Structure 1
């Protein structure tokens, strides 16, 4: 049931400082009680609501925000703001409303003029009714949102994204930058979106305004998460142009919209984006700045939802808020309820929640035209993709780290412009590739292709010196995966036309296909698996009954691609995210260990992949240039490298700064194993220097696969030296979900 929206409207007095406040439920014609007056007091030249307190008393309360580790009074701060709005019995009247009792919750939607800087600056999310924070009410889910009037409301109503949404994680500086490290750590939490198939996540760092615009034009993201330095009224992207990377909210919104559909939501991890500019600092490179916070200005400019994350992810409250927020959005819950659950989870998970206001720092700004039940994501497609990804082992733990440039190449396989399109990606190393995560890169690419509505056919994973040793074995492996896809989509299996290439062993392939078509689907799949198993049997040159000839790679692989394209067409009819655009992609793990199958594959690959010109099939592989047939791959690479549609990215240990952040992301996400020591969350202490974290990465030599053991031993050592700390986020989060499903 949607939370009833209580509109809390401030109308300023003139010329005397103060406001008249009215309470009215959205969709009704009558106020809740009579409008009431809120006189103001002067604090350092700004008018703030009195709430029955003197200026001196309020100044002490404001110290709760300025110095949370001092002797300030967060409870008194929350009581003050509560009394401003709901004193004199008004809260009791709200609680007795039938719509509030039926929903067991309420949204407090705050509305005031855009220029009301003093009201913007207050942390209304911290309101406290004398028994506890409203956000932690024992029987009521209380949401606090800040409504903003958009200058140009959209012509059509807001709708949930029904396909797998695209999330762009953009950083305006290096992710290793210490100042934005809290925001970069938030990005690590948001990566859970991708792990749960909630979004297809793309990472771009050190973005300039032009780079961000290009990324948004290419990806058309539904959600943008921006991590950047911030000052009141502006955020700082990588230096560019006359403003040196400094942009206002209007410019940012134009940049990420790019003349296309407006993103559904913006998440801001930047200092000062939820607070208004100080009166003494109201100029930027673009001229005078308005009083409204950057986040509110972004909503005015057209974004329906902006979440400004002011806390630090090293604080458990901020992490619990984010985890519960993401979980609620994943389930298709309205964003208002998701934010309320996140804040309540943060509060209830803390041992001493009233000592600090970290749990109150995340602020939700919404356009006034956005309905109270607006849900950015519909979970139907995401749940379907998660099931497929699990079936084909594309979705793995722990959270994927590094190699963002390699993942970005996935998008080039089907780029809109022909000159940007890739037909072959050969991820390789001039040396051993063990423990570098090459298999995981292929799995993540397969995951992303599924999210985009394509059909990844992964042959692997393989251990050293394993894999198909000839073309017959490789083709049979591909067909086995194809049969599994037909089973998952409840489709008739595609009879392998490659049997035509097998000489006299299959004299009437058409009759075989017709016979298979008459069988029940389980038997049809079993018969095809048996046929490709027989096809894969090596030719016995001394057996007079074995009349098969060696395969012609061109003919065999053209027929194989025809079969895969027929399967992709059938899958395209099953609904979003699949459709007429659905295409197969071949992924090959450790192809240097494939024997002669590698020689045959390389002999037919051209600029578009393999198969016929009309619908070629792109190919992505991992390989070493040493061991097995690595020298053959290297010679072929040297011959094909150049301006054609081949890419040969290197697979190397992660750079120290990238590995440090990636390993911290892994430590944020406990993943279940038989070793209970894997369950805590590890985060750096505020005093932890970058060199210590880089040392953590250096000790693991940048090898991603070392996260399974060595990483946790190193983290435990840093806990012992006081450089890191542990928290039981999993226990707190699961306890909250159990009590508040």
Structure 2
């Protein structure tokens, strides 16, 4: 469905007073398919908590004192019952009125799709218009955002702006940048949004990267390295001397002149999301409203096609439902303005205080005027294919992945193209104790999932429940079997099996040269590859590590080259990455470590095309002594990193366990269907104490976490909601 767009243009008009031009009001023009209306909207001044503000004068009149008092109560969230509707009706009468609204509803295009986009457009520096929550418009019977017969999208169109970008053909990459720490009380709402994002990532809706304590320089670095499609910034916001600013981890706040070079360091992102006060509206300077463009509008005007911002605080349930419906709709290929409308409708229906609170109306969508109503950020069919493959490879599975920030932060160093001196070839997540229950296998799956979404080829070796690789021969066969699986999933050819020649006594089952394999049909080629790998595994004798490594590197290089032309997200930078689970249990550990000790930054690949290795291990159990000796020998040397695989830190646990609780994953039991969230007034100290009881063990998500969450609900520290049931109920009433 493409919503017909109805423009509501406001152009300021002035009159002479004391030989100076004074704003008298605005000329309102409503235009769209079969719709044309124009009228004058006067300006008046009201006192709001002692601050004089210019606002539109509702046609039909409204006492200035009443309006000023209403705006004051809205700002302090102390509205009386029904005043939010009263405010919404005032906004509605300013821009539309019943007669024009009837014309919009009766337009043939609107009737045909049962929906409409109201595109608000005025000069970027019209602070007196930006200060109002137009998304709260109410026709006297319904908030437009929750109209029972019509899906109403409200967008803020910025004159000029960039051309419409192409749709993304893979799960979008999202950079989540936090100006402080995720466990700060003031940042907590943004941290919960990140939890939703991780849930979307698990479902394959996006690939994300989170960084905390970000400065303007580190923001630029991460944008350059990660090349995100969407950048979500959580920070404190303010307006100083008419300029919208964000307080990152830098000493001084930064504005659009600093933000734009950072955000576009890896190319202009498709969208920016601002979770920051006053990012969607103007501010006060010296007690007066300043004629200035909101930071969101400035970013659009400078070249960001879509910016989502907030004009005020949003409650956790409203934010959660708005975000869920928005992201899911975008990923399904729904146009962005329609997706935002569905998100707002979800937030409104969940709000238990819509007559006294405006939180559901706070998110505002700013778009460039070249962005059409039909623009779809994501090509759902193309993006879905990659996600389906990830699930078949068992790289993506519930619940939400949590913690391990230090280990996940090393992934960028595997592909440091500009400086080979800092590139990593081996990452060993090791613990000098048992690693049972610490989520090592899940860690490798998550790494593999992230790498696949970023255009690399994960080869997961394990878990091996009964028979881990006994020798080097088993290891290389497992790697080549994984490549054959990838080739089959992506419908490409695996034609390089040079590794088989590492055993000079092995007699292939049929010709296995690249030319011979390429000449076969896909079915025959797959059969020949599998037959030869089975025979190679059963051959007697050990393999020479040096001879084997060079041939294996050639096979990995050849397959990465084939995949480099397989389309987005793969490219010339595509690499094979080997992920090995619990290598301390492998009989093949000695020759594997012997190879890795010689290859440094290249892993199992070549200097031209490295193939990094990431493994988990205990240095205490089974052959752990060999792991310990390897880590002690190579720790600190170029190409190697040895992060500890330990229990979660308290910060990781508090944030991560709350992320899991935001996304139900065992829906067959009532207690697992609930979404649990801490009440807004619960301190970080209380949360630390509660989640400390789980001992930092990721395995606690299976049961202990939900026992704790239910106890916290009973003592009214947490609240619980069944989001899916609430939304299903709404859809039944509003099909």
Using the size of structure 2 for normalisation, the TM-score is 0.91
Give SS of 1:20's match: strand
Q: Deviations over 1:86-106 (max 9, x none)?
A: 225111111122222233211
Give secondary structure in 1 for the equivalent of 2:591. Answer: helix
Asked whether the equivalents of residues 459 and 477 of structure 1 are also in contact (C-alpha less than 8 Å), the reply is yes
After superposition, the Cα gap between the structure-2 partners of 1:311 and 1:460, relative to the gap in structure 1 and judged at 3 Å, is: farther
Q: Aligned match of 1:696 in 684, 687, 690?
A: 690
Match runs of 1:452-491 below 5 Å: 452-463=454-465, 467-491=468-492
Cα distance in 1 between the residues matched to 2:410 and 2:249: 25
Distance 1:398 1:188 in 2: 11
Give the one of 700, 709, 713 matched to 1:715.
709
Q: How far apart, in 1, do the equivalents of 2:123 and 2:520 lie? A: 70
State whether structure 2 residue 568 is matched by structure 1 residue 576: yes
1:570 Cα offset (Å): 2.8
User: 1:505: Cα distance to partner?
Assistant: 4.0
Q: What is residue 70 of structure 2 aligned with on the other side?
A: 61
CA deviations on 1:405-427 (whole Å, 9 max, x unpaired) are 32232222222121232111111
Shift of 1:493: 4.4
Where in structure 2 are the equivalents of 1:122-161 lying within 5 Å? Answer: 122-150=132-160, 153-154=161-162, 157-161=164-168
Could you tell me how far 1:282 is from its partner in structure 2? 7.5
Q: Residue deviations 1:28-50, cap 9 Å, x none?
A: 7x971233333434334212122
Q: Note if contact 1:282-1:290 (Cα within 8 Å) is conserved in structure 2.
A: no
Classify the secondary structure of the residue corresponding to 1:226. Answer: strand
* Aligned residue number for residue 549 of structure 2: 557
1:253 matched to which residue of 2? 260
CA gap 1:208/1:237 in 2 versus in 1, 3 angstroms: farther
Match of 1:118 in 2: 128
1:167 CA displacement: 1.2
Which residue of the partner structure matches residue 432 of structure 2?
430
Check 1:84–1:612 CA distance in 2 against 1; reply closer, same or farther (3 A cut): closer
Q: Report if aligned partners of 1:10, 1:19 keep a CA contact under 8 Å in 2.
A: no
Residue number in structure 1 paired with 2:36: 32
- With over 3 angstroms needed to count, the CA separation of the structure-2 counterparts of 1:234 and 1:291, relative to structure 1, is closer
Aligned counterpart in structure 2 of residue 648 of structure 1, from 628, 631, 642 = 642
- Corresponding residue number in structure 2 for 1:543: none
Judged with a 3 Å threshold, the aligned counterparts in structure 2 of structure 1 residues 277 and 37 are, in CA distance, closer, same or farther, namely closer
Question: Over the residues paired in the alignment, what is the CA RMSD in angstroms?
Answer: 2.7
8 A contact 2:315–2:359 mirrored in 1: no
What residue ranges of structure 2 are gaps of 5+ in the alignment? 16-21
Q: Cα gap change, 1:112/1:518 in structure 2, threshold over 3 Å: closer, same or farther?
A: closer
- 60-69 or 246-255: which moved more? 60-69
Distance 1:195 1:592, change over 3 A: same
Give the structure 2 partner of residue 71 of structure 1: 80
In structure 2, relative to structure 1, the CA distance for the partners of 1:295 and 1:613 (3 Å cut) is: closer
- Residue 653 of structure 1 and its aligned partner are, at CA, apart by 1.9
Gaps of 5+ in 1: 284-288, 540-547
Give 2:8's aligned residue.
Answer: 8
Q: What SS does structure 1 have at the residue aligned with 2:44? A: strand
In 1, distance between residues paired with 2:106 and 2:31?
13
Residues 1:355 and 1:485: Cα distance change in structure 2 (over 3 Å): same
Q: CA deviation at 1:585?
A: 1.4
**Match of residue 95 from structure 1:** 105
Aligned ranges for residues 492-503 of structure 1 at < 5 Å? Answer: 492-494=493-495, 496-503=497-504
d(CA) in 1 for partners of 2:166, 2:515: 46
Matched, 1:620 2:621: no
Q: 1:201 aligns with which of 192, 195, 208?
A: 208
Where 2:177 maps in the other structure, the secondary structure is strand
The answer to which of 337-346 and 188-197 deviates more is 188-197
Aligned residue for 2:394, secondary structure, equals coil
Q: In structure 2, what is the Cα distance between the partners aligned to 1:405 and 1:660?
A: 16
CA positional deviation for 1:67: 3.9
